Each structure stands twice: as C-alpha cells, then as structure tokens.
Amino acid sequence: MATHDNTINHARSASIIRSIVKHNIFIPCAFLILLLLINIFINPGFLKVSMGTDSNGHPVLIGNLINILSNATELVILAIGMTLVTASSKGQDISVGATLAISGGVVMRVLCGNETQPSSLHAPIIVALLLGCLAGMACGAFNGILVSRFKIQPMIATLILFTAGRSIASMAMGGLKPKAVSSFGYYGNFIPGFPIPTPILITVLVIIITMLVLKFTNLGLYTRAVGVNAKASSLNGLNPSLIKFLTFVVLGLCVGIAGFVQSSRVQTVNPFTIVPSIEMDVILAVALGGNSLGGGKFNMTGSIIGAYTIQTLTSMLMTLNVNTNAVPVFKAAIIVILVVIQAPIVKAFFSALMADLKSKNNRGKGDDTYVVVE
Amino acid sequence: MKKVVSLVLALMLVFSLAACNGKDKAKKDDGKITVGVVQTNANESDWRTANTKSMNEAFAEAGFETKMVFGEGDHAKQIAQAQQLIQEEVDYLVILGLQSAGWEDVAKAAKDAGIPLIMADRKLDLTEDLYTAMVCSDFEAEGVKAVDWLKTQDMDEVNIVVLGGDTGSSAQLGRSKAIEDGAAANGWNIVFNQNMKGWDETLAKQAVADLIASGKEFNVIYAENDNMARGACDAMDAAGITYGKTGDVKVIAFDANKWALEKVLAGEFNLDIECNPLHGPRLVSLIQSLEKGEKIEKNVYVEEEMFDAETITQAIVDARSY
C-alpha cells in the first residue's frame, strides 16, 4: 500500500515537473539562468551588488547585474512593442533602430536648440519626452498605414524608414551633434541620492503598464485574434487594419521612450551610430521568448526575458574580453543553439525520445506502475 | 505588340541616358574643376564636421565644384559612390575611406578614366602606382606619441583599458597597433581591448561600467577618440573613480576637439593627441600644383601635436576653431 502511495506521489510530482517544462516560458527562463550560471562560474563575483558612491558623493549601486538590468532597458521596451507588431501583422518592424535615432534626435533638438554646448536646457524635459514620443508614434503610424492600408509586407514597409531614418534624424538635429547639460542625464543614469539606476525604474514602470493594459483591455485579445485569422476576426466585428495600425503606433511609443532613455545616457545623440543594429536584437528577443515570428499567439513575458538574455550575452562577451573580431561569431554560435533547441522539430524529437525512455523504464519496473496509469 | 513597345521604351531610355551624358560633358567644358569627395559620415563627430566644412569652404574659395557623398558607415556604399563619381567624370577624386581595404577596383577604374585619386585623412591599402597623392594622418605615429608619453609617467604597474574605434578603419588599426606593441615592449598589461562600433560614447561608457562592476583593476584609459574618452569618464564618475591630472586613472584621448582640449585644461583628460581635420587648404594647393603640372610630394603625413594637461594653456584652447 505504501509503495502504491509513493508511486502516486511520484507521478504527481512528475506531472508538476512536466507542466513546468511544458510551460511556454520555461525554455527562455532556462537559457537566462544557464547564462547567468556560466557567468558566475567564470567570475564568482558576478552577482555581487555593492553600494558605492559616485564622484559627487551620492550613493549608487554597482554590479554586473545592475548594469545588465540598466542597459537592457531599450531592448526590453522595444521588445514589448515588437511582440505586439509581430503578433498582429505576422511580420517585424526593422526600422526601430532608425526611428529611435529620429526620436532621440528630436529630444536633443528640443533640449539644445541650435547650440552644440548649451549651458541650460531650451525646453522643459517633459516637453522633449512628449515630442520624442510623438516623433516615434508618427514613424509608427507611417509604418502602420503602409502595412494595414496598403497591405505591404511589414519588412518591406519598414525598410523605408530603416534606410532613411538615420538621415532624417540627422536633418532633425540640423546636422549638429549637441551635448545637453548633465541634469538631463538623470533619466539614463541616476537621480542624485537615489542608488538604483533610473532606466531600471523606467523599465519596471513600462512592464507594469504593459501587463495592466494586457489584463484590463482587449488589446492583447484582439491582437491575437487578428494575428491568428484576420478574416475570422473581421467577421466577428473587429477591424483588423485598425488593430494592426494600433500595434505599430504602440511600438512607435515604445521607440519614443527608448529613444529618450538612450539620449539621456550620455546626453548626446549620434544618429548614425546610436543603438547599432538593435532591430536584429529586438527581433531575436521576441523569437527567444518562444514567440512565433509568423504572428498569432504571443507571449509577452517570454519576449521580456528574451531581451534580458540577449543583454546578458552581450555584457558577458564584453567582460570576457573576447577578441573584438570574434564577438559576432560567439554571439551567433550561442544564438544558433538557443534557436535550434526551440525549433518544433527538435522539440518533437526530444519528447519522442523522453517517451521512448520512459516506456523502456516502465517495462523494466514491472506491473505496479500500470496501476497508476489506470 | 507589347514586346515592341517595351523595346521602344528601352531604347528611348538608353538614348535619354546618352543625352544626359552629353550634357554633363558640355558642362565640364566651362573650365571649372570638379572634385568628387567620398566622405565617411555626415555627422559622425565634431572632428568630422570640421573636416567636411574645411573641404567645402576651401574648394568653394578656390572656385572648384564639389560633389561630396557620404558613406554613412557603409563601406560597400562608399565604393559604389566612388564608382559613380568616376562615371560622372569628375576631375579629381578624393577618398576618405571608412575601411582601408578593398579599394583596388576603384583605384584601377579611376586610373583607366585618367582621374587622379587622392587619399585624405586615412591611408588606404593601395600600391604606389594606383594613387596620385596622399594627405593622411599617421595614426600609428599618433599612438606611438601616447606610448612615449606613458613611458615618462612614473607608474609602478600599468593596466590599460583600450577602447578602440570602428574595427578595420585605419585610425583604429594604427592606434591599436601602437599601444599593443608599446605594451608588449614595456611590460604593461592590457586588461581590456575591444572596438566600439561607431566611435561612440554610449558603448564606451557601458564597457567601462561593466569592467568596474567585474572588479577589474585599471589605471590607464586609452580611448581612440575624444568621444569614447568622454564616455569612459562618465562611467568612472558614476562609480566614484577619480581620473585625470589629480586622479587614479590616466585618460588618453585622440583627435583634440576644442571641447576635449577644454577637458585637458580642466585636468579631466591627461593627454590628447591631435589629428588634424583641416584638409581643405592642403588639398586645394595639391590640386592646383597638379593642374599646373608641377611635381608633387606623393606621400604627405600631416603635422600633429599633442596636448598635455600639465602644459596646456587657455590660449591654446581659444585658438582652436573646431
């Protein structure tokens, strides 16, 4: 009798494990944890967070983990918007790097006017933030109209701003490369006296707002519906073009916020080199999060974890001092492994393998396991 | 029927192109010298802005017509632009290459078309017979100046952080080689040596912040331009590490923009090595000598100074125009 109970418990815990393993954010989480473990193995002090003071004597938190959380801000915010765009339009926006340059450029122009080294800000920071977001949303709306009204494939539609965006940003800045006063740096660094980097707080705020919007509005449901089957959703009274358009505008808003944080980091923007090839990292974050790039269902938590995974990887290769020329190869090699493991064929192969092993085990153990099955 | 129409259209296109070409040639006969310039990026840095301005102003003053194109970080685009300028039959082709390799075909095409090719700012990997003249900065010599300066500093142990520029540009290759050779010869440690895409503040700042967080000890920052040095200083500020004339970490920067010289004067940077951007007047005198058929010096390296925080004066900073 006792052995019977044990077997039931055993089976129960096995099913819990199975449900965890089957959960759609298990693989992204597992990768992130694995990367962190490798980092700890290489540098035992990796997770250490210490309290230091900056050159003005204000307390600040110092540590690799803090850096990763802080530097991932742009990637996380963009991945949130990109997840929605991917789900609704079955394609990706490859112009986010260029449009981020535009919104960052607008922020700088508003704050600095036509001066390269202004001694004070030309406009309140909130105005710069709003105009930056507006510029991002305008770019998003442009992409959105091309995709939803003119039915152009997202990658082709966004190729336009991908190509022209950085030059537009340069024009928006009047060809100057201004540097704003250091008080503008609070949003990309620290607010004096508060030890947690501001970008981390901004990320947390954006994530909370996203989760609330997804929980209490129909945006998430409608986006999924349009992505899964646009025709069926329009028969059910939804307007697929409008939903697609809206997701691009939301991504534009994300771009605006990310552009503001990025320009605040060093209080200057170089439109041609700001966030180099971030669009690929963002799309990768969405893919690593277990999302299908073919649209439909989406997993926001997965994308966010995917973004942190990529930042951890970037930071790891940087601190390991891998030869610069070899960095892209390392990154690519690790990403290939991550993506291949998540491919449906590989997943099916492993679950078949597991089932096979289990049946062999069961045959060896004898009859009592079959009792549980009944 | 359709075939005939498309054939006619295609022929019309060819003829109209030929007509355009003819017009271009006619314009060339008005005696104005056309200079095609393949520049790197429009506003990569303050240095580049001064560089572009210098060429535009000097050429306009000399009465040349300027056709300036920008590669915007794209090496392949630069090559296509250069080929285009050769097709447009400019009189002189000035190239400031993003990358030093891969220019042979352009150089051969220019030679075949009889267009003199002048390399400016950055030296390209071309054999002597493929170009007409060179007005470049000697980046390795700049780096060697920094190494020599570092030798004079009384330091027990030297741990260097190298923040490199765009991988493969001649400025990055020369400056990195100088410090790598210098470190090997003098027994210095290079604790970090990575190239930052785009010569940018943000990446340099993140790299140095990561280094500080992982507890790596360093006492020299060798940043291959002013902007990256500024990014590194931002990261050290955030962690409360002192630097500059009175601090623990020595900061070496390159290019010597006006704002950077102000930082040298304020003691935030220890050393800034000049990379002279004012190529315009030099190119004008070179082209004018070539026009007159005078003999020119083929390889010219521009004169470059260095500015030490111990010796710099307000007058030097004020005299700087960019």
pLDDT of residue A367: 47
Q: In whole angstroms, what is the distance from residue B48 CA to residue B60 CA? A: 18
Element (H, E) at B35: strand B34-39
| Mean pLDDT value of segment B230-248 | 94
The model's confidence at residue A365, banded by pLDDT at 50, 70 and 90, is low
The model's confidence at residue B274, banded by pLDDT at 50, 70 and 90, is very high
Question: How many structural domains comprise chain A?
Answer: 1
pLDDT score of A369 more than 50: no
Whether B31-137+277-303 and B139-275 share one fold: the answer is yes
Q: Is residue A368 part of a domain?
A: no
Q: In whole angstroms, what is the distance from residue B9 CA to residue B2 CA? A: 10
| CATH number given to B139-275 | 3.40.50.2300
Q: In whole angstroms, what is the distance from residue A303 CA to residue A290 CA? A: 8
Q: pLDDT digit string (tens) for A259-268? A: 999 999 999 9
Query: Residues of B with CB below 8 A from A190's CB?
Result: 238
Number of CB atoms found within 10 A of residue B299's CB = 13
pLDDT score of A252 more than 50: yes
Number of CB atoms found within 10 A of residue A149's CB = 11
Nearest to B94 by CA among B128, B46, B133, B44: B133
Measured between CA atoms, the residue of chain B closest to residue A191 is: B238
What interface predicted TM-score (ipTM) does this complex get? 0.83
| Mean pLDDT value of segment A256-276 | 93
Query: Residues of B with CB below 8 A from A57's CB?
Result: 240
Q: In whole angstroms, what is the distance from residue A163 CA to residue A160 CA? A: 5
Q: Is residue A364 part of a domain?
A: no
- Range in A75-79, A168-172, B194-198 with the lowest mean pLDDT: B194-198
Q: Which residues pair with A154 in a beta bridge?
A: none
Q: Which residues of B touch A (CB under 8 A)?
A: 41-46, 49, 72-73, 164, 167, 191-195, 197-202, 205-207, 209-216, 227, 230-231, 234, 236-242, 259
Tell me what the pLDDT averaged over chain A comes to.
88
Q: Yes or no: say if A224 and A243 are a contact pair by the CB < 8 Å rule.
A: no
Q: Is residue A112 part of a domain?
A: yes
Nearest to A268 by CA among A174, A184, A164: A184
| Mean pLDDT value of segment A280-304 | 91
pLDDT score of B13 more than 70: no
Classify each residue of A283-307 as buried b or exposed e, where b means 16 or more C-beta atoms within 10 Å of its C-beta.
Answer: bbbbbbbbbbeebbebbbbbbbbbb
pLDDT of residue B24: 44
Domain residues for the domain of A62 are 2-342
Comparing B301 with A135, which gets the higher pLDDT?
A: A135
Kindly report the backbone phi and psi dihedral angles of residue B39, in degrees, each rounded to the nearest multiple of 5, phi listed first: -95, 165
Q: Is residue A349 part of a domain?
A: no
What is the residue extent of each domain of chain B?
31-137+277-303, 139-275
Q: Which residues pair with B249 in a beta bridge?
A: B243
Q: In whole angstroms, what is the distance from residue B245 CA to residue B149 CA? A: 14
| Chain B touched by A43 (CB under 8 Å) | yes
Sign of the dihedral through C-alpha A203, A204, A205, A208 = positive
Number of CB atoms found within 10 A of residue B53's CB = 15
The model's confidence at residue B221, banded by pLDDT at 50, 70 and 90, is very high
pLDDT score of A285 more than 60: yes
Most confident of A71-85, B203-217, B293-307: A71-85
pLDDT of residue B8: 65
- Domain B31-137+277-303 annotated CATH 3.40.50.2300: yes
Nearest to B146 by CA among B250, B300, B265, B278: B250
| Mean pLDDT value of segment B126-131 | 91
**CATH number of A254's domain:** 1.10.3470
Number of CB atoms found within 10 A of residue B49's CB = 20
Cβ B210–A315 below 8 Å, yes or no?
yes
Burial class (CB in 10 A: 0-12, 13-18, 19+), A228: middle
Cβ B206–A71 below 8 Å, yes or no?
yes
Q: In whole angstroms, what is the distance from residue B125 CA to residue B279 CA? A: 20
pLDDT score of B45 more than 80: no
pLDDT of residue A373: 43
- Range in A228-242, A281-295, B25-39 with the lowest mean pLDDT: B25-39
Tell me the CA distances in angstroms from B292 to B127, B283, B296, one per residue in order: 25, 14, 11
Cross-chain CB nearest to B200 (options A62, A273, A318): A273
DSSP string for residues in A298-366: --HHHHHHHHHHHHHHHHHHHHTT--GGGHHHHHHHHHHHHHHHHSHHHHHHHHHHHHHHHHHHHHHH-
Half-sphere exposure of A327 (CA within 13 A, CB side): 19
pLDDT > 70 fraction of chain B, expressed in percent and rounded: 90
Query: Residues of B with CB below 8 A from A117's CB?
Result: 259
The model's confidence at residue A248, banded by pLDDT at 50, 70 and 90, is very high
Hey, of B190, B193, B208, B210, which one would you mutate to test binding to chain A, going by the most A CBs within 10 A of its CB?
A: B210
Element (H, E) at B117: strand B117-121
DSSP single-letter state for residue A187: G
Q: In whole angstroms, what is the distance from residue B158 CA to residue B126 CA? A: 37
Q: Yes or no: say if A78 and A252 are a contact pair by the CB < 8 Å rule.
A: no
Sheet holding B117-121, edge to edge: B65-70, B34-39, B92-95, B117-121, B133-136, B299-301
pLDDT of residue B25: 42
Radius of gyration of chain A (CA): 24
Alpha helices in chain B (DSSP H): 2-28, 46-61, 75-87, 104-112, 139-152, 170-186, 201-213, 226-239, 258-265, 280-292, 314-319
pLDDT > 70 fraction of chain A, expressed in percent and rounded: 93
| Mean pLDDT value of segment A109-129 | 91
| Mean pLDDT value of segment A139-158 | 96
pLDDT > 90 fraction of chain A, expressed in percent and rounded: 59
pLDDT score of B47 more than 90: no
Tell me what the pLDDT averaged over chain B comes to.
88
Q: In whole angstroms, what is the distance from residue A231 CA to residue A241 CA? A: 11
The model's confidence at residue A272, banded by pLDDT at 50, 70 and 90, is confident
